Amino acid sequence: MDRFELDILGCGSATPTTLHNPSSQVLNIREKLFMIDCGEGTQLQFRRSKLRFGRLNRIFVSHLHGDHCFGLIGLISTLGLLGRTGSLFIHTVAGLEDTLRPEIDFFCKDNPFEVKIEVFDPKKNEVIYEDRSVKVETIPLVHRVPCAGFLFREKQKEAHLIPDMIKFYNIPVRELAKIKQGADFLTEDGRIIPHSHLTTPAEPARSYAYCSDTAYSEKIIPIIEGVDLLYHEATFADIDKNRARDTGHSTARQAAKIAKMANVKKLMLGHFSARYPDNKILLEEAREVFFNTVLANEGLREKL
């Protein structure tokens, strides 16, 4: 099966600690690397995770708080020093161009590649990127500034041909593509050989939803319904739910409630406040509502 893996580079909140780096992660989809957020120190974590800079495809920035984008200029500089020539695309909300472009022009003016910033509307649920392997759409979130999450849906592969059956019915090569896409085969004597007799189903397409930063919002449930893995911020424990509400964040219990209502397969908590020296309190609270919950942590690689 082709790769669909999530690497956690940072899962802390605004203040870096000895436990956690600011937000960043990388999704490997069929050997293309998609970065989600880029907090301070991201490129160091990228190296520690033994990821390849040359395979970095695109960057998706959820919002313009520093713990989600302060690492961009350092990463862009490093990519230039490593000889990147292909354009780097950054998908984000309005405003990044005004702040990042002067830094690029000053620190990275000799870079051999172009940085292209593509702006999306965080209030809309819409497709912002698509290729042969994946479709990426935005998830409107509720925060103190314009903010969106991202939903990655792998495209369903074609069915697998059964070589012995193809040979038995002497099926011409020109017919194979259509059969893989679902067509039946008509023999010379008029018999219909069903597609299901000639193929085996492809592996189910996988999906991943990233929701950070956000206050509790049930509006995202129809968008993330049934995803294989949901990363949902859990900045606070339930004892601090008023603080969560006031700052546009969620508690672990609220994240678990969203996961349960959306029928997701697995929940990963992240974006932890520095006030908790041990994140197990968050895990315990979430598992009371949705048991299949894990904690994000730097260096964690989750295979979907």
pLDDT at 15: 84
Reported as a single tens digit per residue, the pLDDT across 69-99 is: 999 999 999 999 999 999 999 999 999 999 9
Per DSSP, the residues of 167-210 read HHTT--HHHHHHHHTT--EE-TTS-EE-HHHHEEPPPPP-EEEE
| pTM of full prediction above 0.85 | yes
Task: Specify whether 105 is catalytic.
Answer: no
Cα(235)–Cα(212) distance, integer angstroms? 9
pLDDT at 128: 98
Can you read off the two tokens belonging to residue 204?
Answer: 């189910």
Dist. CA 209–CA 141, nearest whole Å: 12
Quote the pLDDT of residue 222: 98
Give percent of the chain above pLDDT 70: 100
In the DSSP assignment, the letter for residue 257 is H
Which amino acid, residue 168?
Answer: F
How does strand 88-92 pair with strand 56-60?
A: parallel
pLDDT tens digits for 217-275?
A: 999 999 999 999 999 999 999 999 999 999 999 999 999 999 999 999 999 999 999 99
pLDDT in tens, 16-38: 899 999 999 999 999 999 999 99
Percent of the chain with pLDDT over 90: 86
Confidence of residue 202 (pLDDT cuts 50, 70, 90): confident
- Per-residue model confidence (pLDDT) at position 171: 87
The two counts, helices (H) then strands (E), for the chain are 10, 18
Q: Residue 140: which pLDDT band, with cuts at 50, 70 and 90?
A: very high
Output the CA–CA distances (angstroms, integers) from residue 103 to 65, 72, 76, 98, 107, in the order listed: 17, 10, 10, 10, 6
Find the catalytic residue in 2, 7, 37, 67.
Answer: 67
pLDDT of residue 295: 98
Do 45 and 298 touch, CB atoms closer than 8 A?
Answer: yes
Q: Would you tell me how many other CB atoms lie within 10 Å of the CB of residue 2?
A: 12
- pLDDT, tens digit, for every residue of 36-58? 999 999 999 999 999 999 999 99
Model confidence over 103-113: pLDDT tens digits? 999 999 999 99
- What domains sit in the chain, N to C, each tagged with a CATH number? 4-157+203-303 (3.60.15.10), 160-200 (no CATH)
| 144-193: pLDDT as tens digits | 999 999 999 999 988 898 899 888 888 888 988 998 989 998 888 888 98
